[in-house]
Amino acid sequence: MSQFSQHNFKNQKALIRVDFNVPLDEHFNITDDTRMKSAILTIKKVLSDGGSVILMSHFGRPKNGPEGKFSLKHLLPHLQELLGDVKIAFADDCIGNDAQQKAHDLKPGEVLLLENLRFYKEEEKGDEAFAKKLSELGDIYVNDAFGTAHRAHASTAVIAKYFSADKKMFGLLMEAEVANAEKVMHKSEKPFLAIIGGAKVSDKILIIENLLERATDIIIGGGMAYTFMKAMGGKIGNSLCEDDRLDKASELLKKAEEKGVCIHLPADSIIADKFDAAANISGALSNDIPDGWMGLDIGEMACETFKGVIHHSKTILWNGPMGVFEMKNFQHGTKTIALAVAEATANGAFSLVGGGDSVAAVNEFDLADKVSYVSTGGGALLEYFEGKELPGIKAIRES
């Protein structure tokens, strides 16, 4: 059992760093509450032990101090709905007398939500004095914000040093995220396949480089595949290409060959005469795309090959779509891959899907519960698989 599950929070005040950075529409309605929902089990465990909870989070990107539209107050009604019959107080400054008083007055079973941490520039700077003030609000520090684990901010990392080893721990969400990521990174059953897609090669170079040390196969799809195609001498028409990364793409292909990692690029593509849902569409080999046309999805041959690789893999990491899946005409490839990952999972493979757009894709195709784990951490997960040590994890583990 984990440290968090074993801990009895009775009469203790748990200061929980959550990631409540949810998207809002122009009327301040939450359009996707996944991040809030993900923290509820952690909060409820503390409350049911007879402890109280002080929640702290960032929200949006306020520039210069407090800004109404970035107030966590907007989330209060929904938090109340999610927690049910629990008394929730709000402190409209995350530090200072009012926050201290409200934290002090908190009774077992009650929750206090602090105002947006990023109303203080000290948060992102990792300021020690600010972190210390926050730390004084609670008895135990719980980090449940995997989405910001790659940031060395005051509330995500620095604060941990003001708590002894037995008084700082991961929450349930963070524990699950770390355990699943570590399972793929360090204990992957072979063959280990990484499926990397999305728009930009430049964003994914480090992750591909690190995965070359671990993976058996790497599927590269989406817009980034065309930079590799061009690097190999292919004709890619108007497809997405980062010309300043052609050498890097060649280098990665060469490295993969040396290491015996099989890189799979899409043999064919669905092509369009403009970047538009209503464009004319056709098919072409991905290394022979006519001028004036661009590859916006992987083609049928690529789907078949990729399905075969997916089905013989035992561990699958998926980050990034295979095409412009937001447009109906170009979502076939991403959907095919999502279905194949779900099938492989049903047949015993372990699959981890992470990174904003692939998560959006499995949700859109209703497959989120058919893969082993869907990560809530976009940037954090990417940095983890780039091989970086995440400050939010390190701060809890080092005493």
Q: Catalytic residues, which ones? A: 35, 200, 356, 379
Candidates 126, 138, 295, 392; binder of ligand AMP (CB under 6 A) is 295
- Asked whether 157 and 393 are in contact (CB, 8 A), the reply is no
- Asked whether 254 and 270 are in contact (CB, 8 A), the reply is no
Q: Is residue 296 close enough to count as binding ligand AMP by CB under 6 A? A: yes
Q: Is residue 320 close enough to count as binding ligand AMP by CB under 6 A? A: yes
Phi-psi group of 292: left, alpha or beta (phi > 0 → left; psi -120 to 50 → alpha; rest → beta): left
Piece in contact with ligand AMP (CB under 6 A), picked from 24-32, 109-117, 177-185, 317-325: 317-325
Piece in contact with ligand AMP (CB under 6 A), picked from 97-105, 133-141, 180-188, 198-206: 198-206
Cβ closest to ligand AMP, residue 200 vs residue 370: 200
Spell out the alpha helix ranges (H) of the chain: 3-6, 34-49, 76-83, 97-105, 121-125, 128-135, 172-186, 201-211, 225-231, 246-259, 300-311, 332-346, 356-364, 379-385, 391-397
Candidates 51, 147, 222, 391; binder of ligand AMP (CB under 6 A) is 222
DSSP for 57-115, please give it.
---S--SSS--GGG-GGGGHHHHHHHH-S--EEEESSSSSHHHHHHHHHPPTT-EEEEP
Closest CA to 309 of 271, 354, 261: 261
With a CB cutoff of 8 Å and minimum separation 6, the contacts of 64 are: none
* SS3 of residue 27 by DSSP: coil
Q: Is residue 200 close enough to count as binding ligand AMP by CB under 6 A? A: yes
Cβ closest to ligand AMP, residue 49 vs residue 357: 357
Q: Is residue 333 close enough to count as binding ligand AMP by CB under 6 A? A: no
Q: For tokens 């779509």, what's the residue?
A: 321
Q: Is residue 203 close enough to count as binding ligand AMP by CB under 6 A? A: yes
Q: Is residue 299 close enough to count as binding ligand AMP by CB under 6 A? A: no
Candidates 220, 324, 382, 390; binder of ligand AMP (CB under 6 A) is 324
Distance of CA 93 to the CA centre of its chain: 28
- What x-and-dash track marks residues 236-265 binding ligand AMP by CB under 6 A? ----x-------------------------
Piece in contact with ligand AMP (CB under 6 A), picked from 13-21, 187-195, 205-213, 321-329: 321-329
With a CB cutoff of 8 Å and minimum separation 6, the contacts of 150 are: 377, 379, 380, 383, 384, 388, 390, 391, 392
Q: Is residue 199 close enough to count as binding ligand AMP by CB under 6 A? A: yes
Phi-psi group of 42: left, alpha or beta (phi > 0 → left; psi -120 to 50 → alpha; rest → beta): alpha
Q: Is residue 266 close enough to count as binding ligand AMP by CB under 6 A? A: no
Alpha carbons 151 and 136: distance in angstroms, whole number: 21
Min separation Cβ 113 and ligand AMP, Å: 31
Q: Is residue 380 close enough to count as binding ligand AMP by CB under 6 A? A: no
Q: Site for ligand AMP (CB under 6 A): how many residues?
A: 15
Q: Is residue 338 close enough to count as binding ligand AMP by CB under 6 A? A: no
Min separation Cβ 357 and ligand AMP, Å: 4
Candidates 234, 321, 354, 391; binder of ligand AMP (CB under 6 A) is 321
Contact positions toward ligand AMP, by CB under 6 A?
198-200, 203, 222-223, 240, 295-296, 320-321, 323-324, 326, 357
